[in-house]
Structure 1
Amino acid sequence: MAPRPITPHRDHGFFAPDSVTRRVWGYPTTPLVGIQRATVIEELDPNLIAAVHDTGDNYTRLDTRYARTVQYFASVAFADAQTVLKLADVLVKIHSKAIGHEPVGGGRYDANDPDSQLWILVTGWHSVLKAYEVFGPGKLSEHEERQYWAECAIAAELQTCDPADVPRSREEVHAYFEEWRPRLAASEAAQQMMDHLLDGVNAVVPRKGLLRAVRPLANRTLRHATIATMPRYMRDLAGVRQGRVTDLVVTLWLRTLMAVAARSHGIQRYILGTLSPRTLPVIEPHWRGIAPLAPVVLTPEEARHQWGYPRPRDAHLELRARQAQRVFGDGLAPSDDGLIESQALLGHLG
C-alpha cells in the first residue's frame, strides 16, 4: 500500500531538523513515558491540582486531554511557526477558564500564572529528557544538554512564563526542583489523580481488537516505568511504592522495546496513531525528511512580527480580567470562551 501523502509544513518552526529538541522529543519514549511522567508529577503543584480537580476532565475524558497534550507539545517541537503561535494563543484563552480558589493553602490559582506555566514547562521538558535517558539512548553530553535547555527557553516564549527563568543546565534543573520541593503538596485529590494518571493506558487505549488483550500488560509496564523515573520523595508524596528490583527490571525491558520501536516508523506511527491521531500530520514530515515550503528556522519574535500575535503573557488580558471578575468578584463559574475555538486546532473535546 502506497504511503499516505504528507503535507509539508510552511517552515521548520522554531527548531532545526538536527536540533537536540527534535532528537529527544521525537524518540518513542516521549508519548509513552515522558508525557505521562510530566502529567503525574505536575499534580504535586497545589494550584495545578486544584484547577484539574475542579473540572474533573482527567477522569471523564483523559483520552482527549492526553491526546491534546501530546499534540501541543509535538507541535512546539515539529510544526511550523504560525501553527505553533496559533496554538499558543488559543491555549491562553483555554487557561483563562482555569482559575479559582485553591483549597489547600486558601489562595487563588490561575493556570496562566507565570510560575505555574514555568512549572509545567520545566516538568514537561525534564520528564521527556528523563524518559529518553532512562529508556532510550542514554544521557546527552553536557554541551547537548545545555543546548536542550536553551531550546526549552525558546519554548518558554510560547507560554506566559519568562524565558530568563528557565534553567540552563542539569545543575540548575536540580536546583529548580529543590526550590519547588517545599511548595509541593500531596493532598488526597493529588494522590488520587496521580494514581489515575499512572494507569493512563487503561483510559487512553481503545478497548477493542488486539489492543484489548495487551492493555493490562502495557498499562502495568508503563506505570512501573513512570514510577521508576520518579525520585523517592515524589513517590512518597504520591503514596506509591516500588522496589529497586522492579525499577531495574522494567527499565531493562522497556529500554529493549523502545530500541526496537525507534528503528521502525511503522511502530511509532501505530503508537502515536493510537494515543494522539492528530499528532501524526505534525511529526510525519520530520520522520520522512520532507522539507518545508520555506526551509527556515524562525525565532518566536520573528514569527510574531510576521503573523501579528502578541506574547502569550500579554495576550487576551481583557478576557482574563473578565474571567477573574466572574469567579472572584461575582462568584460565578468561568465562561467557556476559548474552549470551542480550541477544537478546530486540538480536536473535539469529547
Structure 2
Amino acid sequence: MSCPFTGNPSDLNESLENHSLGDMAAEAAPTKKSFRRGGKDDTLVREDEGFFGPDSITWKVWSFPGFALQAFARAVTLEHLDPDLVAAVDASGQVYKRTPVRYDRTMEYFAAVLTADAQTMTRMSDILMKVHDRSFGVNPVTGNNFEANNPDSQLWIHVTAWHSMLYIYEKFGPGKLPRDEENEYWEQMAVSAAFQPIRQEDLPRTRGQVQKFFDDWRPKLSASEAAIRNTDHILDGFRTIEPDLPNWFIWLGRPVLRRSIIATYPRWMRPMLGVKQSRLMDSLSIAVWKPFYKVLDNNPKLFLWLLKRICPRAVRYMEPLLLKTPAKTPRVYTPEVARRMYGNPLTPLEQREELLKKRQGGVGQKSYGHNHTDEILEFANADDLEATEKVLDAIEEVELRPAG
C-alpha cells in the first residue's frame, strides 16, 4: 500500500484525509528537472513492437498526418451523439475546463496502442479502467445511468476513432486501401479493442459491417445542448485545443480546420450537431489541406514539430512510427498473452464487473465533480511496473472510502 496505514482501522480515515489520490499518484511519477511532455527527455524505450509492428496496415494508416487534426477532432465530436456518453463527458466538465489536456491524453492513449510495447500498453489499459471508473451518474436528459466504462459507449468511441482515421486517410491522403489491406485494418481495430471493456463479438470487421454498424446506431443517436456546445468548442480547436501553436498559424488555420472537419461529417449528422455547410465548401476545405499533408507526410520531423505543439504526450509514441525506430526486439504480442504476462490478469470487461461490484457495495471510487481539478493519473506511469503499482494501489486506498 502506498498510503501510510499502520494496520489499525481507526487510523485509515485520517490517513486518507491527509493523502489525496493526486498526492499518492504524484509519488509514483518520476521527477525530472525541467521535464516537459514532448521534450527531448521524454523518450520511450520499447522492449518489443507491441501488438502491430512497422509492417502493419495500422502503422501505415495512423502515420498519416491527418491523425492529429481532422481525424481525432472528427472522432471526439461524433462521440457526442451517444447521449449517455456525452452525459459522462459533460458531467466532469473537462472538455471546457482542461481542453488541451483532455485532447492530449486521448491522443496519447491511441498512439500508445499503436507503438508502445506489450507491458506498457497492458498497464496503461489498467490505469485507464480506473480513470474511467470515476465517470458515472444519471443522465439529466434521458434519466439513464451512464458510466464511461459502459461497453456500448466504449464500442462507439472505438469504432468512430478507427473509422475516422481511415476516412481522413482516404479523403485527405492516398485514397482507399486495397480490399485485403482494409480488412486487415478492421481486424487490427478489433485487436486494439481488447484494451477497453468492449465485447469482441460486437466489433465490425469489414467495410460493409462498419457501414451496417453506423446504420444500426443511427436510431440511437441524438444531440443534447451539451453535445452541440462541446462540438462547437472542439471544432474551434486551433484556439481551444492547440494553444501552443504560433499565433499566425492559429489565425490562418482556425477557419479552415473547422470547415474541413465539418466536411467529413455525413450530411444527416450535421443538423444534429448544429452545423451546416455546402458541398462546394466541403470540397474546397478538403482540397486546401491535401498539399499541406503531403509536405508533412514527406517530412516526419516537421510533423513531429507540429505534434509537440498539439499533443506533446503522444509524441513519445509517434516518434518510433514516424522515424522508423525499431524496438529492442521485433516480437509482437496478442493482447491475451500480454495480459497473462503483464498487468491485471482480468480482461477490461472482467475488471469492469469487479469495479461495479465495489461501487454497488459502497466502497468504489467517488464520481468526478463537475469542472474538477483532480490530479491527473499520467499514463506515462505505465512505463514502469513499480510506478504503475503505486498508482493503482493509491486508487485502491481511496476505494475504501464510501462511494458517492
The TM-score with structure 1 as length reference comes to 0.91
Contact 2:138/2:144 (CA < 8 Å) preserved in 1? Answer: yes
Partner residue of 2:198? 161
Matching residue within 235, 254, 276 for 1:241: 276
- How big is each residue's C-alpha offset from its partner over 1:289-321, in whole Å with a ceiling of 9 and x where there is no partner? 222112111000111111142211112644433
Map of 1:215-254 to 2, 5 A cutoff? Answer: 215-254=250-289
Partner residue of 2:357? 321
Structure 1: where are the runs of 5+ without partners?
Answer: none
CA distance in 2, matches of 1:346, 1:255: 37
Partner residue of 1:139? 176
CA distance in 2, matches of 1:319, 1:312: 10
1:115 Cα deviation from its structure 2 partner: 0.8
The RMSD of aligned alpha carbons is: 2.3
CA distance in 1, matches of 2:357, 2:283: 50
Partner residue of 1:293? 328
Partner residue of 2:59? 22
Q: Percent identity?
A: 39
Map of 1:3-18 to 2, 5 A cutoff? Answer: 7-18=44-55
Q: Secondary structure at the match of 1:109?
A: strand
CA distance in 2, matches of 1:157, 1:41: 22
The reply on whether 1:130 has 2:163 as its aligned counterpart is: no
Matching residue within 322, 325, 334 for 2:367: 334
The TM-score with structure 2 as length reference comes to 0.79
1:168 Cα deviation from its structure 2 partner: 0.9
Contact 2:123/2:343 (CA < 8 Å) preserved in 1? Answer: no
Partner residue of 1:174? 211
1:333 Cα deviation from its structure 2 partner: 5.2
Question: What is the aligned residue count?
Answer: 338
Partner residue of 1:185? 222
Matching residue within 289, 296, 309 for 1:261: 296
Partner residue of 2:402? none
Q: Secondary structure at the match of 1:14?
A: coil
Contact 1:51/1:98 (CA < 8 Å) preserved in 2? Answer: yes
Counterpart AA for 2:233: H
CA distance in 2, matches of 1:78, 1:344: 14
Change (3 A) 1:237 1:212: same
Change (3 A) 1:324 1:126: farther
Structure 2: where are the runs of 5+ without partners?
Answer: 1-38, 383-404
Partner residue of 2:340? 305
Change (3 A) 1:75 1:181: same
Contact 1:93/1:316 (CA < 8 Å) preserved in 2? Answer: no
Change (3 A) 1:74 1:340: same
1:41 Cα deviation from its structure 2 partner: 0.3
Q: Secondary structure at the match of 2:190?
A: helix
Counterpart AA for 1:112: N
CA distance in 2, matches of 1:149, 1:316: 25
Contact 2:122/2:343 (CA < 8 Å) preserved in 1? Answer: no
Change (3 A) 1:78 1:246: same
Counterpart AA for 1:34: A
Change (3 A) 1:320 1:246: same
Partner residue of 1:275? 310
- How big is each residue's C-alpha offset from its partner over 1:9-68, in whole Å with a ceiling of 9 and x where there is no partner? 110000021111111111100011111100000001001110111111100111000000
Matching residue within 76, 84, 91 for 2:128: 91
Partner residue of 1:44? 81
CA distance in 2, matches of 1:264, 1:206: 23
1:271 Cα deviation from its structure 2 partner: 1.2
Q: Secondary structure at the match of 2:326?
A: coil
CA distance in 1, matches of 2:381, 2:172: 28
Change (3 A) 1:222 1:15: same
Contact 2:126/2:343 (CA < 8 Å) preserved in 1? Answer: no
1:264 Cα deviation from its structure 2 partner: 0.4
Counterpart AA for 2:356: R
Contact 1:224/1:246 (CA < 8 Å) preserved in 2? Answer: yes
Contact 1:326/1:333 (CA < 8 Å) preserved in 2? Answer: no
CA distance in 1, matches of 2:265, 2:321: 30
CA distance in 1, matches of 2:286, 2:185: 23
CA distance in 1, matches of 2:234, 2:376: 26
- How big is each residue's C-alpha offset from its partner over 1:121-170, in whole Å with a ceiling of 9 and x where there is no partner? 00110011111111111111111111000000101111101122111111
1:245 Cα deviation from its structure 2 partner: 1.1
1:288 Cα deviation from its structure 2 partner: 2.5
Map of 1:30-109 to 2, 5 A cutoff? Answer: 30-109=67-146
CA distance in 2, matches of 1:281, 1:205: 18
1:108 Cα deviation from its structure 2 partner: 0.6
Contact 2:194/2:200 (CA < 8 Å) preserved in 1? Answer: yes
Contact 1:99/1:108 (CA < 8 Å) preserved in 2? Answer: yes
Over 3 Å off, 4+ runs: 3-8, 316-327
Partner residue of 2:11? none
Change (3 A) 1:178 1:271: same
